Amino acid sequence: MKRYIKRWISFILFMCVFVWYPSEGVVMAADSDQKNIQIVGTASMNTYDVALRVGKTKQLVCNGTTGKMVWKSSNPKVATVDKKGLVKAIKPGKAMISVSGGNLIGSMTCKVGVSKKITTKQARRKIMAMKKTYKEGLSWTNENRQYFWEATNCQCYGCIALCGEISDKVFGKYAPVTKHSNFSRIKAGDHIRIGNEHSVMVLQKNGNTLTVVEGNYNATVHWGRKITKKELQESGFYVETRY
- What's 174's DSSP letter? T
Q: Can you tell me the distance from the alpha carbon of 72 to that of 97, in angstroms, rounded to the nearest whole number?
A: 6
Coil, helix or strand at residue 83: coil
Residue-range domains of the chain with CATH: 22-115 (2.60.40.1080), 120-241 (3.90.1720)
pLDDT confidence band for 29 (50 / 70 / 90): low
pLDDT of 87? 98
pLDDT of 122? 97
Across the range 42-50, mean pLDDT stands at: 91
How far the first Cα of the chain sits from its last, in Å, is: 60
Number of Cβ within 10 Å of residue 185's Cβ equals 11
Strands (E), 35-139: 37-45, 49-53, 57-59, 62-63, 69-73, 79-81, 86-89, 93-101, 104-105, 107-115
Question: Has residue 8 got a pLDDT over 70?
Answer: no
C-alpha distances out from residue 84 to 50, 58, 62, 167, 191, Å: 17, 11, 10, 34, 37
Q: What's the pLDDT tens digit per position in 96-114?
A: 999 999 999 999 999 999 9
H helices of 70-215, in order, are: 120-128, 159-171
Question: Has residue 239 got a pLDDT over 60?
Answer: yes
Question: Has residue 139 got a pLDDT over 90?
Answer: yes
C-alpha 139, offset from chain centre: 29
Across the range 46-73, mean pLDDT stands at: 94
Residue type, 116: K
pLDDT confidence band for 130 (50 / 70 / 90): very high
Q: Can you tell me the distance from the alpha carbon of 37 to that of 21, in angstroms, rounded to the nearest whole number?
A: 23
Question: Has residue 39 got a pLDDT over 90?
Answer: no
Question: Has residue 12 got a pLDDT over 60?
Answer: no
Q: What's the pLDDT tens digit per position in 168-227?
A: 999 999 999 999 999 999 999 999 999 999 999 999 999 999 999 999 999 999 999 999
pLDDT of 25? 67
pLDDT of 14? 47
Average pLDDT of the chain is 89
